[in-house]
């Protein structure tokens, strides 16, 4: 038995990220081992959770993984924790198709109680109807209580508490309105200054939680058996080392710096099962390490275009490695790094990149392109999530052998490229259930 809680919301912007990070920081300060998880493929929300708890945060996404693999990830990393916290994604019932892949479906699958975070700005007693509707809409996602955010006064909270009680849902407290409680934009890298700013926000939120939230009652209400029992049909656990029979240990170079830091933790674990990982920095490094496989994860290269342009040697090394038949996996920002050029605004300077692929990328006024993606590659069904601010140009020079589709099987206009032994796409691929070697053989 241990406290296990999914923190959901009625809609985006309700304050669930703020509350989850504040709660994780509070428990960590109290000496408890906290394991955080993030519903969906949002790497950006996972980073503050890692900072708040001091432990890696793992994504649970029911579009890119099987249900048994999602449960396996939860059981594996939650085993040694004193508390498991899952931060929801969007609204509680928002999935890639109706409720499919939603936070509510994950709560049901993990048998995890739900705390509903409700934005109380300009709200009063009428919120009771909304809370009642969320509680009864899908009872298998069991809502045990609510916490209100952006509460203007103790008088408003008195109305909100009565509204919650009349909806048949426990009210565990609130966080008052404070203009300092605003998480920075997601389109930033975690510099020392940003980390200091985030730590200040976490600590301030923690102080409010200690003062206005009944954490003891909350955790008494969410004690559950651990590990979660696997749902049927059960799929064999997919991270067994016997899944591979490598003849030799490979050397795998992984780009890891503020420009290329967005990847699934399970991808790195899968890679580590076939080889020894060495990390390098396209921003600060001088040479590409000797490797059998190079992994270029997603990130924000557009924030470091000039710095990347100046790393001539490492860009030349990437091109030479690719042209010699070296194996490369490049996702999102990694694909941008392999392109001809990157412009941080339309009509701006085109900074030369590695020049492996005949594409040019331009950042279009922070216009986000996003959505779930899937592609049939050889005999593999690869799935992932696309989220980027850059747009590919000069694409007519490439022939596309593989068609990228959305969750409904409709073809979308986004590249998936195989050039020699380079596999490149604009999606963050989930490789936690994939035989890495099968990408080339």
The full DSSP string for 126-163 is THHHHHHHHHHH-TTS-EEEEEEEEE--HHHHHHHHHH
Which pLDDT score, from 0 to 100, does residue 186 have? 65
Task: Report whether the peptide linkage leading into residue 227 is cis, meaning its omega lies within 30 degrees of zero.
Answer: yes
**Token pair in block for residue 139:** 């009872």
Q: 419 φ, ψ to 5°?
A: -125, 115
Q: CA-CA distance, 197 to 200, in Å (whole number)?
A: 5
Which one is the CATH code of 2-224: 3.40.50.1260, 3.40.50.2300, 3.30.465.10, 3.40.50.300? 3.40.50.300
Q: Which tokens go with 343?
A: 């412009």
Residue 188: per-residue pLDDT: 65
The pLDDT value given to residue 202: 95
CA contacts within 13 A on the Cβ side of 306:
3
Q: Record the tokens describing residue 109, joined without a space.
A: 């699958």
Q: What is the pLDDT of residues 157-205, one digit of tens each?
A: 999 999 999 999 999 999 999 999 988 776 666 667 778 889 999 999 9
Which 8-state DSSP code applies to residue 41? S
At 209, is the secondary structure helix, strand, or coil? Answer: helix
- Residue 441: what pLDDT? 81
CB-based contact 86:111 (threshold 8 Å): no
Same-fold call for 2-224 versus 249-439 = yes
Please tell me the predicted confidence (pLDDT) of residue 247: 61
| Tokens 């009944």 -> residue | 214
Three-state DSSP state, 277: strand
Contact 44, 201 (CB under 8 A): no
Continuous H helices in 234-377: 265-272, 305-310, 312-323, 333-337
Low-confidence ranges of the chain (pLDDT < 70): 186-191, 232-247, 365-367, 395-400
Q: Which pLDDT score is estimated for 345?
A: 85
Where do the structural domains in the chain lie, given as residue ranges?
2-224, 249-439
pLDDT of residue 184: 76
- Element spanning 363, H or E: strand 360-363
CA dist 420 and 328 (Å) reads: 10
361 three-state secondary structure: strand
CATH class of 249-439: alpha beta
Query: pLDDT per residue over 94-120, tens digit each?
Result: 999 999 999 999 999 999 999 999 999
Give the integer Cα–Cα distance in Å for 164 and 174. 12
Q: What angle do CA 116, 80, 145 make, to 5 degrees?
A: 15
Query: How long a stretch of residues is the chain?
Result: 441
The pTM of the whole model exceeds 0.85: yes
The HSE-up count of residue 206 (CA atoms within 13 Å, CB side) is 18
Predicted pLDDT at 233: 63
Q: Are 14 and 118 in contact (CB under 8 A)?
A: yes
Tokens of 271: 């890679």
At 320 the three-state DSSP class reads helix
Residue 121: CB atoms within 10 A of its CB come to: 15
Strands (E), 152-266: 170-176, 223-224, 250-255
SS3 207: helix
Query: What's the alpha-carbon Rg for the chain, to the nearest Å?
Result: 23
């Amino acid at each position: 038995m241990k406290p296990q809680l999914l923190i959901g919301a009625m809609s985006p912007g309700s304050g669930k990220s703020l509350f989850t990070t504040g709660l994780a920081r509070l428990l960590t300060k109290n000496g408890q081992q906290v394991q955080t998880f993030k519903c969906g493929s949002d790497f950006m929300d996972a980073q503050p959770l890692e900072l708040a708890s001091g432990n890696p945060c793992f994504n649970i996404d029911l579009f890119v993984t099987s249900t048994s693999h999602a449960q396996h990830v939860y059981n594996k990393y939650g085993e040694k924790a004193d508390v498991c916290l899952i931060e929801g994604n969007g609204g509680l019932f928002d999935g890639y198709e109706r409720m499919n892949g939603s936070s509510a479906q994950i709560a049901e699958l993990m048998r995890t109680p739900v705390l509903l975070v409700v934005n109380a700005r300009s709200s009063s007693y009428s919120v009771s109807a909304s809370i009642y509707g969320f509680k009864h809409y899908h009872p298998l996602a069991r809502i045990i209580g609510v916490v209100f955010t952006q509460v203007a006064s103790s008088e408003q909270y008195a109305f909100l508490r009565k509204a919650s009680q009349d909806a048949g849902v426990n009210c565990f407290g609130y966080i008052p309105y404070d203009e300092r409680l605003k998480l920075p934009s997601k389109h930033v890298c975690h510099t020392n200054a940003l980390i200091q700013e985030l730590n200040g926000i976490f600590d301030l939120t923690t102080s409010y939680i200690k003062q206005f939230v009944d954490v003891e009652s909350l955790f008494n209400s969410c004690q559950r058996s651990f590990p979660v029992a696997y749902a049927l049909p059960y799929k064999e656990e997919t991270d067994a080392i016997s899944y591979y029979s490598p003849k030799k240990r490979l050397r795998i170079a992984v780009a890891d710096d503020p420009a290329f830091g967005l990847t699934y933790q399970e991808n790195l674990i899968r890679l580590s099962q076939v080889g020894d990982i060495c990390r390098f920095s396209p921003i600060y490094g001088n040479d590409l390490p000797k490797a059998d496989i190079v992994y270029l994860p997603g990130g924000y290269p557009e924030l470091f275009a000039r710095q990347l342009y100046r790393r001539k040697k490492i860009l030349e090394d990437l091109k030479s490695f690719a042209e010699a038949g070296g194996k490369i996996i490049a996702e999102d920002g990694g694909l941008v790094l392999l392109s001809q050029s990157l412009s941080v605004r339309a009509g701006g300077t085109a900074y030369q990149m590695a020049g492996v692929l005949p594409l040019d990328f331009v950042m279009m006024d922070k216009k986000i392109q996003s959505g779930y993606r899937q592609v049939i590659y050889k005999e593999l069904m690869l799935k992932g999530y696309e989220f980027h601010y850059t747009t590919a140009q000069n694409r007519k020079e490439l022939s596309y052998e593989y068609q990228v589709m959305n969750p409904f099987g409709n073809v979308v206009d986004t590249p998936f490229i195989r050039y020699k032994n380079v596999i490149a796409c604009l999606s963050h691929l989930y490789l936690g259930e994939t035989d890495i070697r099968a990408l080339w053989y």
